[in-house]
Structure formats: C-alpha cells, structure tokens
Amino acid sequence: MATPFDILNRMREGRTLTAAEVRAVVDGAASGSWTDVQLAALLMAAAMRGLDGDETRELTLAMLESGDQWALAKDFGPLVDKHSTGGVGDTVSLIALPLLASCGVPAAKLTGRALGHSGGTADKLESIPGVCLELDRAGTLDLLDRFGMAIGIATAGIAPADKRLYGLRDRTSTVSSIPLVVGSILSKKLALGASGIVFDVKIGNGAFFPDARDTRSLASSLVEISAACGTPADYVLSDMNQPLGRWVGHAAEVREALDCLTGDGDARLLEVVTAICRKAARLVGRELSPREIDSAIGSGTALQKLVDWADAQGARPGWVDSLDLAPVEAVVTASGSGFLAAVDCRRIGNAFADACRPERDPHRIDHAVALRYDVRLGQRVERGQELVRLYVRRDPELLQREVAAALVIGQEIEPPAAVME
C-alpha cells in the first residue's frame, strides 16, 4: 500500500494517481492517519497541477463512500436534486422545489449555509419561525411521500472526509481548485441519491468564480463527473453581475419566494427558476412547458406546497405574515444621471453578510436585515433617484457607503441576460 510520502512524491513528479492512491488519501483524511501537513501538501499539488477526469471521479466517489449514502431514488422512485454555486439575492431553490413538486416532479436537496458573500438557503429558511431543517433519511422520505419535496441540512454522517479536506482547503488557498470544488460538491450531492441533479452555476463578478472561463469549466466538470459517477446532470448558467432578485436578506428572500409563487415575482428571477425547473424535469423524463409552470403558480398549488412543507417542518402558525424587516430604513441614491453601468455584486454580498451578523458573530444572524434592489443593469437613472433601500437595526452608514460604492453610473450598456446558457 502506497504511503503518504509515495503519493506526494508521485504528485510532485506530475504523475497521475491510481484509484487506490486517491482512495488512500481520502481514507487517510477520514481516519486521521494522514496529518494536516501531508493533506495540505496533497491539496496544493492538486491545485497546482490539476486532477484529470479519472482522478476527480475517484476523489468524488471516495469522499462519497466515506460516509452515509441515502439512495433516496432507490426507495422513493424518480426525483431530482438542485444545487446552486452561490450568489446574492438567489432565491431560486425556495421557488423551484415547490414548483417542481406541484408539477409532479419530486425534488429534494440537502442545503448549506452562507459562504463568504453568498447567502445560504438554510439560513434563509431558518428565518421562518419554528422551522427545523434537521432531517434524517426516513424524515426526508416521509416529506417526499407527503409533499413531493424535502429540504434539509447535510448531516455529520455525509461525506465526513470532505469536511476535513474542505477545512484545510480554506487554510491553504486551494478553495478555488475546480477538481477539488467538483469533488466536494458532488460527494455531498450524490449522497442524497437523486435520479438526476440540475446545477445553477452563477456567472459574473458575484459568482464563486468571477472568471467566465473558470465558471464554464466548473459547469461542464460538474455534469461530466456526476455522469461518470452514475447520476445524470445538467446545468443552467445564470447571471450574477447583480443581485438575482429584488431582495437580499433572509426573511426578505422568503417573502420574495412567496410573492413569486403568488404570481408577483421579479421577471429575471422567474426566468432562472423556469429554466431550472425545465432542465430538472428532463432529467427524470418529463417535459415541463412554461404554461404548466405558470398554471402551478396561478392556481396557488405551488405556494401551498411551500406553506405545507414549512408547516410540516415545524413552522409556527401564521409564519407567512411574520417575516418582518428590520425597523431602521435608509436609502442609496444615484450620484448622477446616466445608466446603471456596473454593479460590484460581491461587494454588496459581503457588506450584507457583515450587516446581518451582530458584532460579527458568525453563529448569530439577524434575519430581518435586508436590501431592496430597485434598479437593474442598463436602466436609466436620474441624480438623486432611489436605487437601493436598506433595512437595518442600527446605524446604516457603513452598509450605505458600501452599497453606494458598488453601484456605477455611466454610459448605457446592454443589460445581461438572466439565463446565459
């Protein structure tokens, strides 16, 4: 059996690792037989020389097999999973899953928390008073049987090797390695055991990878490696050069999801939701028309799915009307007349992330803090016009400055499409 020294030497020489060697690394991460120093060296080597498709597949499978595998489709039948690479004002999951369920396409996902400038679906859903997202396999199957949808947070038993490797990637500047990103995402996604996965891959300055080539490489790699591991997948490239919806904020984005499901949603947001739903349905042999999606919204069935799911997850009676916004309001206005020519979406996301954490405590979130984004790229604005409204608990000056600095008024531009691919 190859030792850590043997494997690191092979990586240093630029040689491809065998399946057994990749699994030895992952087993060592899970068991503790590989030290942090050895794993850090391995991660840096992987980030610098890259991993080929076979190595990435073996890494994914080994991390998957280091923990629990729910294999939901085996017992439930065809269902889809959905994953976003993260962004600002991204409310897609909260809308797409109840829409799919109401159209007869069961959907489930294990979701995560905020990461850097990107909001976390789990954090948003926990703004619903009483909701509990801790689910085991049996509980997930029960929700699927009752409502055709389930959303929970990943348990400690899923891909434990990835948890250790991810922690080291964060400390060794190897977070942005595409093969390592793919292995990390898929080891958790495949553990759910859906029939197919649709990826909402964000592109633009607020995306995980600001470089468009890296984003496209990530999208194709996710689909290719997922298929190589036995699960069909597809992707949508959606714009993240500005917040996706009209709201940024935990409770505010749940409110926006409810609005969308009543037919009062933002057009760009609904365009992305529709693309995600249609591609997800195709993965299980269904063809959803825009008319079917509109009907699910117009009839109120999709809205009822979300409400019923939340109620079953412990939401308190009357929660729909209790998603309050923070009481202190302030506005960001246009510094001059012209067109909204650019938005530093990442800067807005980071500013919001700081504003919603009291005293920057990473374990506490003020769900009521929010931004309402009232303008779109390419839109004509006049000096003094309100562009963004802030809802905070205390002095809004810092957030106001950061958001103002993120908005550039200039020459007319062609507005980016919501769905790029």
Global model pTM greater than 0.85 = yes
Annotated catalytic residue within 188, 189, 246, 268: 188
- The verdict on whether 363 is a catalytic residue reads no
Instruction: Judge whether 278 and 270 are in contact, CB under 8 Å.
Output: no
Annotated catalytic residue within 81, 90, 162, 259: 162
Q: How far is it, in rounded angstroms, from Cα 73 to Cα 65?
A: 17
The token pair at 172 is 């060794």
The token pair at 399 is 């957030």
In terms of Cα–Cα distance, which of 158, 159, 175, 181 is closest to 40? 175
- The verdict on whether 188 is a catalytic residue reads yes
Mean pLDDT per 10-residue interval, the chain, length 421 residues = 92 95 96 96 95 98 97 98 95 98 98 82 95 96 98 92 92 93 97 99 95 97 99 99 97 98 96 98 97 97 98 96 96 98 97 85 86 97 98 94 98 97 89
The whole-number pLDDT of residue 316 equals: 97
Q: How far is it, in rounded angstroms, from Cα 7 to Cα 10?
A: 5
The whole-number pLDDT of residue 360 equals: 65
Q: How far is it, in rounded angstroms, from Cα 317 to Cα 329?
A: 28
- CB burial of 109-145 (b: ≥16 within 10 Å; e: otherwise) equals bbbbbbeebbbbbbbbbbbbbebebebebeebbebbe
The whole-number pLDDT of residue 361 equals: 67
Instruction: Judge whether 276 and 421 are in contact, CB under 8 Å.
Output: no
Annotated catalytic residue within 66, 127, 184, 238: 184
3-state secondary structure of 22: helix
Instruction: List all residues 6 or more positions away from 286 whose beta carbon is below 8 Å from its beta carbon.
Output: 103, 104, 105
The token pair at 83 is 């994953």
- The verdict on whether 250 is a catalytic residue reads no
The DSSP output letter for 86 is -
Annotated catalytic residue within 169, 279, 367, 372: 169
The whole-number pLDDT of residue 26 equals: 97
Annotated catalytic residue within 83, 117, 202, 367: 83
- The verdict on whether 33 is a catalytic residue reads no
The residue with tokens 């996301």 is 349
3-state secondary structure of 242: coil
- The verdict on whether 184 is a catalytic residue reads yes
Exposed/middle/buried for residue 304 (C-beta within 10 Å: 0-12, 13-18, 19+): middle
Q: How far is it, in rounded angstroms, from Cα 3 to Cα 360?
A: 43
The whole-number pLDDT of residue 33 equals: 96
The whole-number pLDDT of residue 68 equals: 97
What is the identity of the amino acid at 407?
L
3-state secondary structure of 69: coil
In terms of Cα–Cα distance, which of 49, 63, 144 is closest to 104? 144
- CB burial of 213-246 (b: ≥16 within 10 Å; e: otherwise) equals ebbbebbebbbebbebbebbbbbbbbbbbbbbbb
| Alpha helix segments (H runs only) across 284-408 | 290-298, 301-312, 345-355, 397-406
